[in-house]
A = this chain, B = another copy of it.
Amino acid sequence: MTLNSADTAFRDRLAGDLPDDIFRAADARYLEEPRGRYAGQQALLALPRTAQEVSTLIRHAQDARVGVVPYGGGTGLVGGQVAPDGPAPLILSLERMNKVRDVYPDENVLVAEAGVILADVQAAAEAVERLFPLSLAAEGSARIGGNLATNAGGTGVLRYGNARDLCLGLEAVLPDGQIWNGLTRLRKNNTGYDLRHLLIGAEGTLGVITAAALKLFPKPARSGTALMVVQSPRAALDLLSLAKAQLGEMISAFELIHRQGFEFLTETLPEVRHPFATAPEWCVLIDVGLSGDLDPSEALETLFAAAHEAGLVDDGLIAQNEAQSADFWNIREMIPEANRLIGSVSSHDISVPLGAIPEFIRKAGETLARIGDFRINCFGHVGDGNLHYNVFPVKGKSRLDYDPQRTAIKTAVHDLVQEMGGSFSAEHGIGRLKRGDLETYGDVAKLSAMRAIKSALDPAGIMNPGAVLNV
């Protein structure tokens, strides 16, 4: 079905039903995406203040067959927020729906509108001595509606789950303009199909999330951080098993760092302090958040001693204070920036079954070596089986030198992931960047069910056209 442009006639029709200050010129930031891979075309930008206004906008778009691109913080990495081609869409930014509507500390629930910035959700939880554990690099500008629409991951998944696991209820506008009031604060509610989980991760293609009831958690009484040098990815996994046996759910983060990450930091961000005199081949950043009078240093020392005894770790540092803990985390958090400065040939946000990680790393390295010479920075949320497997030029070359090999690299990595029962998009989603991968690697039955659901809920295909599915 062809869509129409959000032209002046369309705007004029909207103007009759909506206050005029809802519209604004779509300046550059609404048409870009962080990695500069796409540029959106000119579009009509609307900034509604209420779910009712979102509904009015969508009803008009439905009547006029105009595409609607929901826009949160614009930090998505797969082009879900920009429409580079097709008729000019209506960009629907949630930024004015930025109120934390309610906080219920005793229930461990917070109700936020979709446009609240993730860091502000975290701060509102902190203000009542609770934790909202979704945490990721873009948290200062990403908005919670976008985090939910894309089922964001990050560093807290190991303990607290993905964005979808942190959501109790949603308010959303469906493609026909109906407002679904599913903003319950219930921990148990078995009354029909779970629309919440269908909209979460649908990247705006089945409706617009306007508010969410979010789970909060008690803040761990005391936290601690350690960097442990492991002999191999296999040893990292064994260390994780050991840590879980000793501390159960109290392991808050478990991040793998490769030597290449340290070297990129040295090369691009020399001011970042390094904890080890010599960068280790592999190390793991561990965070624990403890309850019940447990002492973090003691717990981490006990873990290290047992891991050393078992031959899993060679060396380790336990943060002695918050500043040192922040230094350790700074290493992990600056690696993506160092990667950006080096300029990757091809980046892969993949996951495999936990037990398959060592084999994946080995095989992927062998496969890429057959394609050419690269520097590989493999790091990330190893406790979730989620690795950022990023391929870079050797020194003296630039990413452009590898243009002819880019497709072969990506295909080799994704083929291997598929063969090992993994996912070619662990936490970033599909957007417009990975639509082809979804066609190639997606399960046939699932794809046909997805298409049927999309046509059933959005028969004219107005919601985020071109994202996720090539309907």
Contact across chains for B237 and A106 when beta carbons are under 8 A apart: yes
Contact across chains for A180 and B445 when beta carbons are under 8 A apart: yes
Contact across chains for B292 and A444 when beta carbons are under 8 A apart: no
Q: A150 near B: Cβ within 8 Å?
A: yes
> In the complex, A441 Cα to B181 Cα: how many Å?
12
Task: For A56, list chain B residues within 8 Å (CB).
Answer: none
Interface centre among A202, A352, A354, A434 (most CB of B within 10 A): A354
Q: A291 near B: Cβ within 8 Å?
A: yes
Select from chain B the residue with minimum beta-carbon distance to A181: B443
Contact across chains for A182 and B446 when beta carbons are under 8 A apart: yes
Select from chain B the residue with minimum beta-carbon distance to A241: B106
> In the complex, A356 Cα to B241 Cα: how many Å?
40
Partner of A452, one of B192, B244, B247, B456: B456
**A286-307 to B contact mask, C-beta < 8 Å, 1/0:** 0001111110000100000000
> Which residues of A241-266 are within 8 A (CB) of B?
241, 244-250
Partner of A430, one of B158, B174, B192, B385: B192
Number of interface residues of A (CB under 8 A): 98
Contact across chains for B246 and A191 when beta carbons are under 8 A apart: no
Q: A432 near B: Cβ within 8 Å?
A: no
Contact across chains for A181 and B292 when beta carbons are under 8 A apart: no
**A427-453 to B contact mask, C-beta < 8 Å, 1/0:** 111100010001001111111111011
Contact across chains for B351 and A189 when beta carbons are under 8 A apart: yes
Contact across chains for A188 and B218 when beta carbons are under 8 A apart: no
Q: A179 near B: Cβ within 8 Å?
A: yes
Q: A275 near B: Cβ within 8 Å?
A: no
Select from chain B the residue with minimum beta-carbon distance to A429: B190
**A397-408 to B contact mask, C-beta < 8 Å, 1/0:** 000000000000
Q: A411 near B: Cβ within 8 Å?
A: no
Contact across chains for A104 and B445 when beta carbons are under 8 A apart: no
A300 to chain B, nearest CB (A): 11
> In the complex, A286 Cα to B383 Cα: how many Å?
30
> In the complex, A30 Cα to B245 Cα: how many Å?
42
Q: A339 near B: Cβ within 8 Å?
A: no
> In the complex, A157 Cα to B189 Cα: how many Å?
12
A425 to chain B, nearest CB (A): 5
Contact across chains for A351 and B430 when beta carbons are under 8 A apart: no
Contact across chains for A186 and B423 when beta carbons are under 8 A apart: yes
* Given A182-B443, A443-B181, also A190-B450 (CB < 8 A): no
Given contacts A186-B353, A249-B291, A293-B294, 5 further A-B contacts (CB under 8 A): A107-B354, A107-B355, A194-B197, A218-B244, A452-B456
> What residues of chain A have their CB less than 8 Å away from a CB belonging to chain B?
104, 106-109, 150-151, 153, 157-158, 161-162, 164-165, 174, 176, 178-182, 184-195, 197-198, 200-202, 206, 217-218, 220-221, 237-238, 241, 244-250, 289-294, 299, 351-355, 381, 384-386, 421-430, 434, 438, 441-450, 452-453, 455-457, 468-469
